[in-house]
């Protein structure tokens, strides 16, 4: 039997590697990001088409179905970590930003509660997109967690983009106040819990993620918490400024 050509062997090796492991800043990483970006664009484009349809209520029904699908992802993602044999007080509680946002994302599409939409837009764009730049996942596509990780973060960013592109969400000064207060309340609750449990929820504990991230350059704990707050606040102000309502019409409620 003849050995496979070098090109064929390389493809087989790469495919096998993708099945078992994930590396940041690799071709596999780029492929995942591109697929997610295309999915967001296609969904929002389709929803805009439904809005222009002469048939009424097509887009609201689509948004409800999309929200329901995101809800299923949120349930699966949360249940995965809470499952017996996998549960740990240090990592399994749904208290990370993305854990909370993956629950808020479907709610933002299924309800008209503005503060939920605001958190999804601001934190989804300003914080959760970091997961696409430096994803904290090490396993390949044959592992359940791989799909839950990308599915949950895709749901968050898709919901945020949906509000911007389809519902034309525009920010108010009160929205910036909302996200700032929410961040302060979250920090006040999560930092003592991290200290008590020896955990790293909200990346506010005295440890770092198991992958390259911005915290690698923010210095030692607890001083880096100050830098983290200031940096995210700059992002929140930038998002508010970019999305602020410039028209005389009332923004979406």
Q: Kindly tell me if the per-residue pLDDT of 35 is higher than 70.
A: yes
Alpha-carbon gap, residue 73 to 92, rounded angstroms: 16
Tally DSSP H helices, then E strands, for the chain: 9, 0
**Statement: residue 187 has pLDDT above 80:** yes
Mean pLDDT computed over 140-144: 96
Break the chain into its structural domains and give their ranges: 23-243
Phi, psi of 113 (to 5 degrees): -80, 115
Q: Contact at 8 Å (CB) between 165 and 42? A: no
Note the pLDDT tens digit of each residue in 82-137.
999 999 999 999 999 999 999 999 999 999 899 999 999 999 999 999 999 999 99
Sequence-ordered alpha helix ranges (H) in 83-143: 97-110, 114-123, 130-133
Q: How many CA atoms lie within 13 A of 9 on its CB side?
A: 5
Report the pLDDT averaged over residues 216-232: 85
């Amino acid at each position: 039997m003849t050995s496979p050509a070098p090109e064929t062997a390389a493809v087989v090796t790469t495919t096998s590697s993708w099945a078992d492991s994930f590396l940041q800043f690799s071709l596999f990483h780029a492929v995942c990001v591109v697929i997610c970006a295309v999915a967001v664009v296609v969904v929002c484009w389709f929803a805009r088409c439904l809005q222009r349809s002469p048939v009424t209520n097509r887009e609201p029904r689509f948004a409800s179905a999309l929200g329901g699908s995101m809800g299923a992802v949120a349930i699966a993602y949360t249940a995965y970590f809470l499952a017996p044999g996998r549960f740990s007080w240090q990592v399994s509680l749904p208290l990370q930003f993305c854990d909370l946002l993956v629950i808020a994302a479907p709610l933002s599409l299924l309800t008209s509660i503005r503060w939920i939409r605001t958190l999804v837009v601001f934190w989804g764009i300003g914080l959760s997109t970091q997961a696409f730049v430096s994803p904290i996942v090490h396993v390949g596509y044959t592992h359940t967690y791989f799909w839950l990780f990308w599915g949950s973060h895709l749901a968050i960013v898709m919901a945020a983009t949906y509000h911007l592109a389809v519902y034309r969400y525009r920010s108010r000064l009160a929205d910036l106040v909302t996200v700032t207060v929410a961040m302060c309340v979250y920090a006040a609750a999560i930092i003592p819990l991290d200290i008590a449990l020896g955990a790293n929820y909200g990346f506010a504990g005295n440890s770092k993620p198991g992958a390259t991230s911005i915290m690698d350059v923010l210095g030692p704990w607890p001083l880096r918490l100050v830098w983290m707050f200031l940096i995210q606040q700059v992002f929140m102000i930038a998002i508010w400024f970019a999305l602020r309502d410039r028209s005389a019409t009332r923004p979406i409620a």
